[in-house]
Structure 1
C-alpha cells in the first residue's frame, strides 16, 4: 500500500527521510522511539546528577571554610592571634587588619599578600557566601573556594580551600556516566527490542493466521492470545467478524443454490414444451404451447424480481426515505383484493419507501387470500408507549388475518427463511418460490420494523409493526 504523500512545501530530503521512516517495521520504529526517549532521559538524568553532585560538594566546602572562618573570627575577637592558625583540613586562613596587614594566617599561605584585595573583600562581604578564585597568581595550583567574614575593629577573615578534589570527583563521575550511560542505553534498547517483539508476537500470529484463510476455507479462525489484553480483544472481534462473514457467505451460497434449483423447473418446462412442439408440429396446439411457455416465463420473471428485491434490501436500508401515509397505503392495497380495511381516524405516517412497504402488504394479503377459507381481514392501529417504557416511540401495527389452515407454531419462524415452503395445505403449486415472507421481513428490518405470526383460531394473523414518524 502506498504511503500518504508528504505535505506541500516540505523539502525533498525531509520527504525521503519521512518515506524511509514509514517503510520501517513497527518493531523497528517503536524500538527507535523508545531508545531515543531513553537516551534523552538518561542524558537529562546524568546532567541533573552531575549538577546536584557539584552543588552538594560546593555546599560541603562552603560549610567547611565558613566554619574555619568563624573559628578565626573568634580568635581575632578574643585577641588570641599570637601564633600561626592551625587547621586540620588544609583550609587556608588569613586574618587582615583594617589597614590591610595580615595579622594571622595558616602555615600554607602567604603572610604578606592577601588572597583578596580590599575591594574584593568588601564585595564578598556584601554578597555573602562563597566565591571561586583563581589562585595561580599566588603560587597555588588550581581554583580556590573563598569566603570572607568580618570581625571586630574592622578586621576581616579570609578562608579558602582548594577545589581540585571536588573537580576530580566531578570529573570521575562524568567519566563513569560518559561510559555507563551509552552502555545502559544499549542494554535498555535491546530489552525494548525483545519486549516489543514479544508484545507484537500475537499480532504476527494473527497475520499468519489471516494469510492461511482463503476464500475456500471453512470455519477458520484467528489464534486468540491467552493474555486478556487489547490484542485478545482484537482477535475476538476479528473472529466474530469472520463468523459473520462465514454466515453471510453460507447464506449467499444457499441462496445461489436455491435460486438455481428454482430456475431449473420453469426452464426445464419451457424446454420440454418447445422440444415437443418442434418434434411433433403437425399435432401441436401452438396456442396452448405459447400459454404454457408464457406461464413459466412469468414465473421466472417473478423469481427474478424477488431476487432483485432481496439483493437491494440486503443493503440494510430503504432506497428512499420519505413520509408514507399508511392509511392510504393499506386502504389502496386492500381495495385491490376487494377487502375493506379497518383504519384509524387519525393519519399514521412512517418514513421509508412506499413501493417497498406496498410490496410487504401485497405479499401478506396475497398469501392470506390464497390460503383463506372464507375471508381475510386487514386492520391498521396505533400503539401508544407503555408505562414500562415511556421513551419508546408510538408504533403502527398492521394485521392481516385469514381463516385458513394456519401454520404450526414450530414453523412460524422458519417460514421467513428464503426458499422455504411448508409441506402443508399452505404450500401449493402457485405459491411462488418461497421468497415472499423473506422479502417481507428483510424490508421491514430495513425500515426498523418487525413481523411475527400468531394463531387466529382458525387461521393465521401476520402482525407488522413500524415506528411512526
Structure 2
C-alpha cells in the first residue's frame, strides 16, 4: 500500500514532464547535465588547486630546511637566520635547545617536542600544526629534517595564504557557476528555439493545408539539415497524396460518367415499355435491351472492383505462389474455342496470383477479339529470366502515339467509342497495374498488320 502513493506521484511527474514543450525539455535536460558537469568541475578544480598549493608550500619549506641543514652540517650557520619568503626556522641541538631561529620565531619553545620531531622525521613529510599556542594566529605547515651532531631543523610556514586562495576560488565558483549556468541555459533556449523554428513553420504550414486545398506545400528551410530533409520528404508525400487524390477523383468522375449511359438507357426502355404497353414481343425486346445494359454495368462494376483491390493492396499481388502459366493460359482460353490459337513452351512457371494473371490474359484476348477478323494468336515462351506472353490480332491496330495512352483508366479511342461492345476503357488499365504488381511490364507493338500485346513476367 505504501508504494501506491509513490507510483501515483511518479506518474503525475511523468505526465507533467510530457506535457511540456520540446524546447523546454531540451533546455531543462541540457541545463541539468550542465549543472552536474559544472558542479563536478568546480569540486575537482578546488581539490586540485588545494593539493597543488599544499604541494608548493611543502616543497618550499623542504628546500628551505635542506638549505639550513647544509649550513648546519658545514658549521656555517649565521647567528641570525633570515627568511625572505616568511618561512619560520628553528635549529635545535641534541639537548633540545634552540640555537638558531629566524626573526619573530620563538627562541625558547620548539614548535614540536622531541617525540613529535622524531615522528615527523620518520614520516618524511610535512604536517599541520596549530600556531595559536606559539602566538601565531594561523595554522602552520611544518617539516622536520635531521642534521649532523644530533641537530634538528624545523621549517614552518603559515597556511593562511593557501586557505585564502582556496576560499577565494570557492567564492568565485559559487557565484560564477550559477551565473554561467543561467547564461548557458539562456543561450540554449535561444539556440534551440531557432533550431526548432523551421519545425514550427512546418506545423503552421500543415495547419493551413485542408482537404480542399490544392497544390499546397510545406515551407522548406534553406539549411541542408535534418529538418530540410523532413520538409522535402513531407512535400514528396503531399505530392503522392495529391496525385492519388486526383486519380481517385478522376476515377469517381469517370465511373459516374460511364454509369450514366447504361442507367439512362435502362430507364428509358422501361419508361417506354410502361408508357406504351404492347404485346409480349415488345416486353421481350425491352428485357433484352435491359439485360444488355445490365451486362455492361456488371462488367464495369467488376473492373472497378478489380482496380479498387489493386489500389488497396498498394500495387502488390493478393498472394505469391508458383503459377504454371502455360496451364493457366490453356484453361483460360478454352472458352474461346477456335477464335483463339495457343502455342506455349512448357513448363513456364511464374510467382504471383493465378486469378489476377488469368484476368490479364482474358482482358487482352477480349480486347483483341473486338478488332480482329482472323483467330487471335496467343503465344507463351521463356526468354532468359522472363516469361513472355504475346496476344496478336490482325485488326486496324493503334497509332504509335496512342499505344501508351490506352493503358490509362477510362481511355478509349474513337473507334472503340463508336461500338457498344467497346467496354469502359478499364481492361488495359487493369492489365498494366496487375502486371506491374507482379514485377513485370506490358507494351503494345505493331504486328503488321494488326496489334501485338507483349507481357513480360519474371520466371519463378
1:87 aligned counterpart, secondary structure:
coil
2:353 equivalent to 1:325: no
Counterpart in 1 of 2:345?
344
Residue 312 (str. 1) matches residue 309 (str. 2): yes
Q: State how 1:166-315 maps to structure 2 within 5 Å.
A: 166-282=162-278, 285-314=282-311, 315=313
1:427 deviates by 6.2
Give the deviation of 1:199 after TM superposition. 0.7
Aligned residue for 1:342, secondary structure, equals: strand
Q: Does 1:93 align with 2:89?
A: yes
Candidates 386, 389, 393, aligned match of 1:395: 386
Give the Cα separation in 1 of the matches to 2:98 and 2:299. Answer: 124
Pairwise CA RMSD: 1.9
Aligned mates of 2:368, 2:278 — CA distance in 1 = 44
Q: How many Å separate the matches in 2 of 1:276 and 1:405? A: 38
Does structure 2 conserve the Cα–Cα contact (< 8 Å) formed by 1:371 and 1:426?
no
- Structure 1 residue 9: Cα displacement: 11
Task: Evaluate the alpha carbon distance shift between residue 379 and residue 333 of structure 1 in structure 2; reply closer, same or farther with a 3 A threshold.
Answer: same
Cα 1:9/1:444, change in 2 over 3 Å: farther
Which has the larger share of helix? 2
1:14-93 to structure 2, matched below 5 A, reads 14-93=10-89
State the alpha-carbon separation in 1 of the partners of residues 351 and 220 from structure 2.
Answer: 43
Query: 1:10 deviation in Å?
Result: 7.1
What is the aligned partner in structure 1 of residue 439 from structure 2?
A: 448
Matched residue SS, 1:310: helix
- Residue matched to 1:105: 101
> How far has the Cα of 1:210 moved from its partner?
0.2
Give yes or no for contact 2:387–2:456 (8 Å, CA) kept in 1. yes
Kindly report which structure 2 residues correspond to 1:141-156, keeping only aligned pairs within 5 A, or say none: 141-156=137-152
Query: Conserved in 2, the CA contact under 8 Å of 1:421 and 1:427?
Result: no
Q: Deviations over 1:96-145 (max 9, x none)?
A: 23343322222222223322333433343333342222223333222111
* Separation (CA, whole Å) in 1 of partners of 2:405 and 2:372: 21
Task: Sort the Cα spacing of 1:9 and 1:320 in 2 relative to 1 into closer, same or farther, 3 A.
Answer: farther
- 1: CA distance, partners of 2:363 / 2:5: 63
Output the TM-score relative to the length of structure 1: 0.92
Note the C-alpha offset of 1:425: 6.0
Deviations 1:135-177 (A, max 9, x none): 2333322211122222223322111100111111211111111
The 8 Å contact of residues 321 and 351 in structure 1, kept in 2 or not, is answered as yes
Q: Which residue of 1 aligns with 2:374?
A: 374
Structure 1 stretch displaced more, 424-433 or 236-245: 424-433
Shift of 1:411: 1.0
Provide the aligned length of Structure 1 versus Structure 2.
Answer: 452
1:436 paired to 2:405: no
Q: Does structure 1 residue 359 correspond to structure 2 residue 359?
A: yes
